[in-house]
Amino acid sequence: MPRLLLVEDESIIRSELRRLLARAGHDVAEAQSVREAEEEHDLASFDLVITDVRLPGAPGTDLIDPCRIRGVPVLVMTSYATVRSAVDAMKRGAVDYLSKPFEHDELLALVERILSRPRPAADVPPAPAARADEGAFEGLIGRSQAMRDVEARLRKVAPTDATVLVLGESGTGKELVAAAIHRMSRRGGRAFVPVNCAAIPEGLIESELFGHERGAFTGATSAHVGLVEAADGGTLFLDEIGELPLPAQARLLRFLQTGEVRHVGSTRSRKVSVRLVAATHRDLAAMVQAGTFRSDLYFRLRVIEVRLPPLRERGEDALALARHFITEGSRKAERPVPALSPDAEKAITSHSWPGNVRELENAIERALILSEGGMISADLLGLEAKEESRGGAPTSLPSDVSLEEYFRRFVLENQDGMTETELAKRLGISRKTLWERRQRMGLLRSK
For residue 52, the surrounding DSSP H or E stretch is strand 48-52
Confirm if 185 and 275 have CB atoms less than 8 A apart: yes
Between strands 269-271 and 260-262, the pairing is: antiparallel
The verdict on pTM exceeding 0.85 is: no
Q: Specify whether the CB–CB gap between 429 and 367 falls below 8 A.
A: no
pLDDT < 70 stretches in the chain: 69, 79-91, 118-139, 215-221, 223, 384-405, 428, 446-447
CA atoms within 13 A on the CB side of 150: 28
Report d(CA 438, CA 443) in Å as an integer. 5
The Cα 155–Cα 349 span in angstroms is 29
Rg (CA), the chain: 22
| pLDDT at residue 395, rounded to an integer | 45
CA distances from 427 to 293, 297, 362, 371, 446 (A): 32, 36, 11, 19, 20
pLDDT for 126 equals 42
